[in-house]
Amino acid sequence: MRISLFITCFNDTLFPSVGRATVAVLERLGHTVDFPMAQTCCGQMHYNTGYQDEALPLIRHFVDVFESAEVIVTPSASCAGMVREIYPRAAREAGDDDLLRRIQTLSPRVFEFSELLVHRLGVEDVGAYFPHRLTYHPTCHSLRALKVGDAPLRLLRAVRGAELVDLEAASECCGFGGTFAIKNADVSLAMLSDKLRHVQDTRAEACVAVDTSCLMHIGGALSRTRSGMRTLHLAEVLASTARDMAR
Amino acid sequence: MSTPSRSNIPPAVSPASTAVETIPVALPPHGHALPPFPVNARRMLGNTQLRRNLGKATTTIRAKRAAVVSELPDWEELREAGRAIKEHTLAHLDEYLLQLERSVQRAGGQVHWARDAAEANEIVTGLVKGTGATRVVKVKSLTTDEIELNGALQAAGIEAVETDLAELIIQLAQEKSSHILVPAIHKNRAEIRELFERTIAQGQQLSDVPSELTAVARAHLRRTFLSSTVAISGANFAVAESGSIGVVESEGNGRMCLTLPQTLITVMGIEKVIPRFDDLAVFLQLLPRSSTGERMNPYTSIWTGVTPGDGPQAFHLVLLDNGRTHVLADATGRQALQCIRCSACLNICPVYERTGGHAYASVYPGPIGAILTPQLLGVEQASTLPFASSLCGACYEVCPVKINIPEVLLHLRGQVVRAKQHHTGVRGTLAQATPEAASMRTAAAILESPSRYEQAQRLAQIGQWPLARGKVIPSLPLGILSGWTAMRDLPALPSQTFRQWWRSRPEQRQEAPRD
């Protein structure tokens, strides 16, 4: 299958390793990855912070870039949720019927990474080997907006060598919330403290999730507190094989 | 929407403080803004006892709710039915309200229409004065809190006695409610014992045992019930076809108020009407399971006008607008009026769990308050509330009438920003914009163009060098971003972006971005 990668501006700039891992997994499974160079940002930060007029050109740009793609994958549940949930609403608010129609044909072809593998491609074992103790944090958008269910966990359970530990109060928000982490920094930190406690209680080496934004929040505190733990995107775990171990 | 700079935020409550600090939460006079949520929240987060009480209470009630909801195989169908009934009623509110008025009048009650809080208070005060009573007993009612009826009655020389135990505690402590359903959720039993010893049990030595404290309140209230001639209540539901009013409660104080006095005055928001008596079958399943985590609440009182020789012989229904028709006019925002005040969204909310209700500075706290208060007051008066959420979506998942709270939050955020831009003229020049608006506009301009976006990536890779320490940026000097590095490192930008790597792959043709 020819799969178009929407890397997201965030991963492109801050977490390129997640993009490389996504490509590695998909190519290992025999798919062709296409990366439209004209892509930029889905507009989520603008829209969710209230700058909805400013988000509209970004939404139009995304549709222009990706509407001819067969299947679109993104290693970000919140950006996938932006396209699937918010785009139709934004087009309706703008009164742009043509844009709405284009979005309605495009958005069913947009998948979050674990969703694509398990629900669209029907794969759980991607041949990964990752001999480490891990815990999994289900991010809010993956759980409640996209409803990916246990797809990421099924993928992780099939990873050879990996020891998966349950995270307490797993479904509770980590406190990131985009610009919430800045506008309401104190509440965000109070939420993060509890998430950190649960993550550290697992004695895992790494906390895994499908959103690097939440992971930057959790990982930023794990790093600051010299916790001896780190964060990994699911794709980075799945990209690791006995021959090519993830760093 | 601007973020208060951290230096303007008062320090957190000192650890030595034991009493819960309360912020005055009376809704401000019309046209005045509420204090900003981040400032209130910071104060509340520092209160260790509040954090402990709330954490314990919300965890317990979440588990109870989840258990009783999972018992019903048709829970999702019930939610959908509840949503559909409310949506239908709101779409035909004008007809159902007139039908309700006729039904109540036919059953011997009187109906009064109040445009706003002042009108409602004037009507109620006048009715009480007409009876000659100088004291009224009250059933717990958010609507009368919203209009600050107790204050209006007091100004008219009428004492209002709250009879719900938690509401009584709040009244005796001269505080404000911090939870829709459990107003004293922020207080523990030791505080309540101390409060009772100062007020209704003067001279007595009480213990911290809940049953003993309840008995003290019960004795106090029983005397009051038996000597009061006027009661004031809110309403959970009002049935248009029959004129029946329903109040759902746990303690029996409501039943006493609704049956013992000669005169009963009910103040209800116009959105509480439902078309048919049969509709109660849906809501009486949804409400107790969502609110207290019970299959059925202990007391459900339903009355229809006046019954000669039984119960109050005079019944007045005050229908309150107070901003609700304004909410109704907003196609996205109006779903907030479907709310049945169960408080499931408060109990599940990770923000509410940590800040408590007082941080919202409104009668309606938590996620529902964050979408209702700005709509009732106007977004500019409560501009920080739509941002008091991480958009985690847990509230939407538990709402028994499927109010899409995250959707309304986003909708209101758009209104806040547009209102600010209208004032600062951000559409005109960048120089006049707030720092946030200026950076958002700049970011949008960069992200609209692939070539500008790549240039910006390269500039950031070079420009970060004074801040990066190995793989992380431990501290950011920038005002609006410094909140991030207060407790979190920021990853330093890798030397190669994804697209730079992609282009460097041997199989990729060198392709320059096009606009």
DSSP H helical ranges for B399-449: 405-424, 435-447
In this structure, are residues A158 and A240 in contact, taking their beta carbons and an 8 Å threshold?
no
The b-or-e profile of B277-289 (16+ CB within 10 A means b, else e) is bebbebbbbbbbb
Q: Is residue B236 classed as helix, strand or coil in its secondary structure? A: coil
Closest to A225 in 3D by CA, of A187, A244, A199: A199
In this structure, are residues B212 and B196 in contact, taking their beta carbons and an 8 Å threshold?
no
What mean pLDDT do residues B115-138 have?
A: 98
CA distance B271 to B340: 9
Residues A106 and A202 in one domain: no
CA distance B279 to B274: 7
- Asked if residue B304 has pLDDT above 70, the reply is yes
pLDDT in tens, B144-181: 999 999 999 999 999 999 999 999 999 999 988 888 88
Residues A105 and A213 in one domain: no
Q: Is residue A93 part of a domain?
A: yes
Residue B236 CA neighbour count, 13 Å, CB half: 26
Residues A113 and A153 in one domain: no
Q: Strand B237-239 to strand B244-249: parallel, antiparallel, or no bridges (unpaired)?
A: antiparallel
Confidence of residue B470 (pLDDT cuts 50, 70, 90): confident
How many C-beta atoms surround the C-beta of residue B39 within 10 A? 17
Closest to B85 in 3D by CA, of B304, B345, B272: B272
Q: Which residues pair with B246 in a beta bridge?
A: B237, B302
Q: Kindly determine whether residue A184 and residue B387, on different chains, have CB atoms separated by under 8 Å.
A: yes
Q: Kindly determine whether residue A52 and residue B389, on different chains, have CB atoms separated by under 8 Å.
A: no
Structural domains counted in chain A = 2
Closest CA of chain A from B171, distance in Å? 29
pLDDT in tens, A103-133: 999 999 999 999 999 999 999 999 999 999 9
Q: Kindly determine whether residue A13 and residue B511, on different chains, have CB atoms separated by under 8 Å.
A: no
CATH number at residue A195: 3.40.50
Cβ-Cβ contacts under 8 Å for A197 (sequence gap 6 or more)? none
Identify the closest residue of chain B to A183 by CA–CA distance: B3
Last residue of a domain, one of A120, A146, A178: A120
More reliable by pLDDT, B445 or A16 = A16
Q: Is residue A244 part of a domain?
A: no
Q: Is residue A108 part of a domain?
A: yes
Could you tell me the two tokens for A202? 């697992």
CATH level 3 topology of B53-325: Rossmann fold (3.40.50)
In this structure, are residues A134 and A163 in contact, taking their beta carbons and an 8 Å threshold?
yes
Residues A13 and A40 in one domain: yes
Residues A111 and A143 in one domain: no
- Asked if residue B258 has pLDDT above 60, the reply is yes
Choosing among A4, A6, A10, A13, which should be mutated to test the B contact, i.e. which has the most B CBs within 10 A?
A13
What is the residue range of A42's domain? 2-120
- Asked if residue B428 has pLDDT above 60, the reply is no
In this structure, are residues B148 and B176 in contact, taking their beta carbons and an 8 Å threshold?
no
pTM reported for the whole predicted model: 0.93
Confidence of residue A243 (pLDDT cuts 50, 70, 90): confident
Closest CA of chain A from B364, distance in Å? 19
| H or E stretch covering B290 | helix B280-291
- Classify residue A145 as exposed, middle or buried by CB count within 10 Å of its CB (0-12, 13-18, 19+): buried
- Asked if residue A147 has pLDDT above 50, the reply is yes
> Alpha-carbon torsion B385, B388, B390, B393, what sign?
negative
Residues A137 and A61 in one domain: no
Residues A139 and A88 in one domain: no
Q: Is residue B60 classed as helix, strand or coil in its secondary structure? A: helix
- Asked if residue B18 has pLDDT above 90, the reply is no
Q: Kindly determine whether residue B386 and residue A140, on different chains, have CB atoms separated by under 8 Å.
A: no
8-state DSSP, B293: S
Confidence of residue B30 (pLDDT cuts 50, 70, 90): low
Residues A111 and A166 in one domain: no
Measuring CA to CA, how many Å separate B133 from each of B6, B128, B230, B272, B318? 51, 6, 7, 28, 19
Q: Which residue has the tokens 């005050």?
A: B318
Outline which parts of chain B fall under CATH 3.40.50.10420.
53-325
**pLDDT given at position B2:** 38
* Range name among A236-245, B211-220, B291-300, B322-331 with the lowest pLDDT average: A236-245
Confidence of residue B8 (pLDDT cuts 50, 70, 90): very low
Q: Is residue A125 part of a domain?
A: no
Last residue of a domain, one of A98, A120, A142: A120
Closest to A135 in 3D by CA, of A200, A211, A192, A66: A200
Q: Which residue has the tokens 């007409």?
A: B130
Q: Which residues pair with B111 in a beta bridge?
A: B317
Could you tell me the two tokens for B503? 């282009």
- Classify residue A247 as exposed, middle or buried by CB count within 10 Å of its CB (0-12, 13-18, 19+): exposed
Closest to B442 in 3D by CA, of B451, B450, B453: B453
What mean pLDDT do residues A78-102 have?
A: 97
Could you tell me the two tokens for A189? 């930190």
Could you tell me the two tokens for B266? 């009910």
Q: Is residue A128 part of a domain?
A: no
- Asked if residue B213 has pLDDT above 70, the reply is yes
Q: Is residue A126 part of a domain?
A: no
Could you tell me the two tokens for A43? 């507009």
Q: Kindly determine whether residue B38 and residue A89, on different chains, have CB atoms separated by under 8 Å.
A: no
Identify the closest residue of chain A to B442 by CA–CA distance: A54
